[in-house]
Structure 1
Amino acid sequence: MQQKTIMDKQDVSQARLDDTPILLALDNVSKSYGALRVTQEVSFSVKEGEILGILGPNGAGKTTLFNLISGDARLDSGTILFDGGPIAHLRPHQRCRAGIGRSYQIPQPFSNMTVFENLVTAACFGARLPERKAWDLAAQVLDDTGLRVYANKPAGGLTLLNRKRLELARALATQPKLLLLDEIAGGLTEHEAMELVDELRRIKAEGTTMIWIEHVVHALMSIADRLLVINFGAKLAEGVPAEVMSNPEVRRVYMGIDA
């Protein structure tokens, strides 16, 4: 009788990713501001459809890493490949149009514009859609992110949860291949954080690749395929979530637990 092998969800997910093309690859990426080295020879890759979670103490260099990928900061050394080609020479708006969308830790909507106008602007200038198609996409994103009821409200008057939803929605309206999420669950209640996780599961199911920086560890663990831990600008650990979180050095540095 042939023996059956039972794989858990993590094993199945990993097996599916093994043959998937790489969408983003960083090789020995470094960045300094004066004498302060905020990113030190970091290398990793992300496959299409994958969710990579990034953890690290405050000041570890996580957001700087995002800035290097999105073009908000320039590399000192190393290479970044996206969708098979180098992007270090591209400006932020060019990287957005190439398929890199991002949210910011502190939401940055156009406060005096309505929620709908924010999304239309993202669709027009980020995805380069003509006005009519931008309206259609904005309407669809409103529905997908639960913001339709706020469509005609000024973005500056939204609650924190809805500003974070709008931050996600604006990134989605650029039609990204890769979505960079910077502490989007920060400040949310447990219920609100899990609503956000459900939304990210839907986005993942549609094929969008994500890198998510987060301090709400249980939210990240519930959806990430892999974790990357950064400390003092350098890679400390990388792998499947359970293994990374059981790493003694990760527990000591990130959670203050001596093994």
Structure 2
Amino acid sequence: MSALLRLTNVSKRYGALTVTDAISFEVGRGETYGILGPNGAGKTTLFNLVSGDAKPDEGTVEFDGADVGHLAPHRRCAVGIGRSYQVPRPFGGMTVFENLLVGARFGGELDERAACDVCVDVLERTGLKRRANQLAGTLALLDRKRLELARALATQPQLLLLDEIAGGLTQGETHELVDEIRRVKEHGVTIVWIEHVVHALLAVADRLLVINFGRKLAEGQPAAVMDDPEVRRVYLGLEA
């Protein structure tokens, strides 16, 4: 499996605080790669480094074989990196469909007709068709999460970054969202997913990375990672 995303010795500091410390990993095409870690471990900073919302102090970020470290966020989106954010922030005065059009036109750089076709398809895939003409600001939490996912998908990403998209949902709502993410995976989209809802991540992830204090703690098959004594101690608060 060829790597779509590769980070090599990536470090990010804010003053004296090192948030990510020489982290390296790669994600294969079509893979779902989960990232776990305690609060403050540096997970969202990793996403910011991939999406262009932050720049590394050292190391390289490669996407589809090219160094994208010099590209602005909108250019990374245009070449195929889409992301959601931990707190959904839709354009509340616009409809669900209009929110998707923004993603398709300005993120995916599609013309109007192509953008409309993509948006209709994404509405179907994410269960939002019935909400297409509803103002985004009136959506319940699950549908706001769906919209966050759908707006990222409207940019037609090769790589989708999901930042704690299951946070705040009930168990039943989480199962619904996991089913939708599985369908995204079946369409061949490569996914990197940060999540605190561990059972949701384990239901989809092919491999896991656990980080702590900005450093790699463990990486590998989900069952083996979750059985790692250091992971159980640091992340789960359990003694082996």
- TM bucket (normalised to shorter chain) is over 0.9
User: After superposition, what is the alpha-carbon deviation per residue over 1:30-61, rounded to whole angstroms, capped at 9, x for unaligned?
Assistant: 00111111000000000000000000000100
Q: How many residue pairs get matched?
A: 240
Q: What's 1:118 paired with? A: 99
User: Shift of the alpha carbon at 1:153?
Assistant: 1.3
> Is 1:167 the equivalent of 2:148?
yes
2:173 corresponds to which of 192, 197, 206 = 192
What corresponds to 1:33 in structure 2? 14
Whether 2:237 is the aligned partner of 1:253: answer no
Note the aligned Cα RMSD (angstroms). 0.7
> Which ranges of structure 2 fall in alignment gaps of 5 or more residues?
none
Shift of 1:223: 1.1
The amino acid of 1:132's aligned partner reads R
Regions of 4+ moved over 4 Å:
none
1:202 is displaced (CA, Å) by: 1.0
For 1:55, the aligned partner's letter is: L
- What SS does the aligned partner of 1:43 have? strand
Larger radius of gyration, structure 1 or 2? 1
Shift of residue 136 of structure 1? 1.3
Partner Cα distance (1:121, 1:172) in 2: 12
What CA distance in whole angstroms lies between the structure 2 residues aligned with 1:151 and 1:200?
Answer: 19
1:22 and 1:133 mapped to 2: Cα distance?
Answer: 29
What is the TM-score when the length of structure 2 is the normalising length? 0.99
Matched with 1:51 is 32
Match of 1:14 in 2: none
241-250 or 143-152, which deviates more:
143-152
Superposed counterparts of 1:230-249, under 5 Å: 230-249=211-230
1:102 match:
83
Which amino acid in the other structure matches residue 247 of structure 1? D
C-alpha separation in 2, matches of 1:236 and 1:81: 22
**1:178 counterpart residue number:** 159
The residue aligned with 2:61 is 80
Overall identity of the aligned pairs, in %: 67
Structure 1: 5+ residue stretches without partners: 1-19
Give the superposition deviation at 1:127.
1.0
Distance 1:27 1:65 in 2: 12
| Matched ranges for 1:123-162 at <5 A | 123-162=104-143
